[in-house]
Amino acid sequence: MWPETSEALLDKLLFTHEAAIAGVVIALVSLAAALVLLPPAERSRLRAPALLLAAYFLFATVSATAAAYVPVGPLRTASIFFLWAAAAHASAMAFLDGLLARKLNLPIPRIFRDILQVALYFLVLLVTARTAGVELSSLLAGSALITAVIGLSLQDTLGNVFAGLSIQAQRPFEVGDFVQLVDSSEPLGKVIEINWRATKLLTNDGIEIIVPNGVLAKTSIRNLSKPQPWVRRSIRVHAPYEFSPAHVRETLLKAIVEAPGVRTDMAPSVIIEEFDPDGAAYRLRYFADIDEHIHSKDSIVRERIWYAFRRAGIDIPYAQRDVHLYTREVDDKETVRATHVARRLRDLRRVDIFDALNAEMLEELAEKVNTRRYAAGERIMKQGEEGDQLFVVEHGEVAVVLEPENGQPVELARLGKGKFFGEMSLMTGARRTASVRAISECAVLVVGKTEFQDTLHRAPDLAEKISAILATRQAQLATTQTGAANAANVTSQTTVILGKIREFFGLR
């Protein structure tokens, strides 16, 4: 039993006219403060205390105007409950979500807000019920059996509540983190809400997964966003045994240079994981920022590996089988090879510096050169690098880009099928004057110094013809830029280029 003086004091504090005015003032001031302090996205939560305050005015008006017709006691008690519930709710929001959240620079977890609101409502209900004459001690004592039954039936719910409180206290993850349940088939998910019963995850497939907090408390959780916002990813790939580990490692590391999503400030690495019947198993390990596109980044890295392996002549092995070849299959291979050579021969004829070669020399060169494939966005040639190769575009499109030391890159031209670049590097070893990137997936025919050296040594006079062609091309370019032709400059430039060719290829 409460003391009589306490009951009288509560009745005076709650049911007097002055108490009602004070409650209204507290509720309105708290609502205004919360409206100012809360972020715009959170202001919709003010509807609950506003509705409670509106319910107070409704019940208070009815109890004042209908006193002659209906009992006003229950109406007055209900109105007082609504008033102080609204004041308590608005004050808690202004303090927790306004002042405290701003001071801590962190949002208050929803589970704490929900539990506090329920506790405040229950406390206001107890006080108003006591002042209305309800004997709470006898009510609670008489309902012990009901309480036990309800407690047993809510065992899982209460377990989820306490597990949610534990999660918020330990903070193994927060809203916005990317997590994955260990030993679960569920994919990577982004935490979008932690409430009193469950945690909501949004997968990359746009599916919302609701995991009870009690399950999370018993499950190992992999938080990919902590302790740093990046993770190390790994890609497993096989390579044939005939290629040295150093060559494969170099090819893999070059494959992901400038790949979208791969961090450039943290060095990737390659390890040999095992040797198995399919070949040597390598694991490429790289670092990437964790976000919803993490699996797409893995896909891009695998794509770059495929292109890099094709350029390096490395075939990704598969299960070994004994296959009996027939003569027809051998003939088919020869036919395919002849087709490739014919296509390369056609592409080489488009390069004007090869006009000095006769048909036999050109065909021999077509048999020696090879084709490389590049993915869209990959760099084929870097400005300032040493080089000794010429490239002919077989299909796709590339961009010639000037990259000044101080300033933005400038695209000079786009080259499509049949166009070529890098002729000065092939003939003189000159450094690249511009960078070249693939605009789309493309294949380029590569003519290197090694393939062209035998041809020049067998016919040294070709150097003079080629130097004249290169000098003429440079003069034409200069004429286009300045608008003035200079025939004497062509002659002198031919001599200079010829000297560089002879020195580069070791010709006498």
Examine the domain organization and report whether 459 and 359 are in the same domain: yes
Examine the domain organization and report whether 369 and 433 are in the same domain: yes
CATH number of the domain that residue 399 is part of? 2.60.120.10
Q: How far apart are CA 401 and CA 391, in angstroms?
A: 15
Final residue of a domain: which of 180, 200, 223? Answer: 223
Q: Has residue 85 been placed in a domain?
A: yes
Rounded average pLDDT over 421-427:
89
The one-character DSSP state at 109 is P
CATH number of the domain that residue 297 is part of? 3.30.70.100
Examine the domain organization and report whether 402 and 460 are in the same domain: yes
Total domains in the chain come to: 4
Examine the domain organization and report whether 271 and 406 are in the same domain: no
Q: Has residue 166 been placed in a domain?
A: no
Examine the domain organization and report whether 217 and 287 are in the same domain: no
Residue reference for tokens 């004497």: 488
Examine the domain organization and report whether 175 and 302 are in the same domain: no
Q: Has residue 336 been placed in a domain?
A: no
Examine the domain organization and report whether 206 and 260 are in the same domain: no
Contact 203, 252 (CB under 8 A): no
Q: Has residue 154 been placed in a domain?
A: no
CATH number of the domain that residue 199 is part of? 2.30.30.60
Q: Has residue 152 been placed in a domain?
A: no
pLDDT digits (tens, 9 = 90+) for 333-378: 677 778 888 888 888 888 888 888 888 888 888 888 989 999 889 9
Q: How far apart are CA 398 and CA 377, in angstroms?
A: 9
Domain that holds residue 426: 343-505
Residue 480 — very low, low, confident or very high, per pLDDT cuts 50/70/90? low
Q: So what's the pLDDT on residue 203?
A: 85
Q: Has residue 348 been placed in a domain?
A: yes
pLDDT digits (tens, 9 = 90+) for 230-257: 889 999 999 999 898 989 999 999 999 8
* ∠ CA 65-80-128, rounded to 5°: 130
Residue 13 — very low, low, confident or very high, per pLDDT cuts 50/70/90? very low
Q: How far apart are CA 154 and CA 189, in angstroms?
A: 29
Contact 499, 447 (CB under 8 A): no
Examine the domain organization and report whether 97 and 212 are in the same domain: no
Examine the domain organization and report whether 218 and 240 are in the same domain: no
Q: Has residue 367 been placed in a domain?
A: yes
Kindly report whether the global pTM for this prediction surpasses the value 0.75: no
Examine the domain organization and report whether 182 and 202 are in the same domain: yes
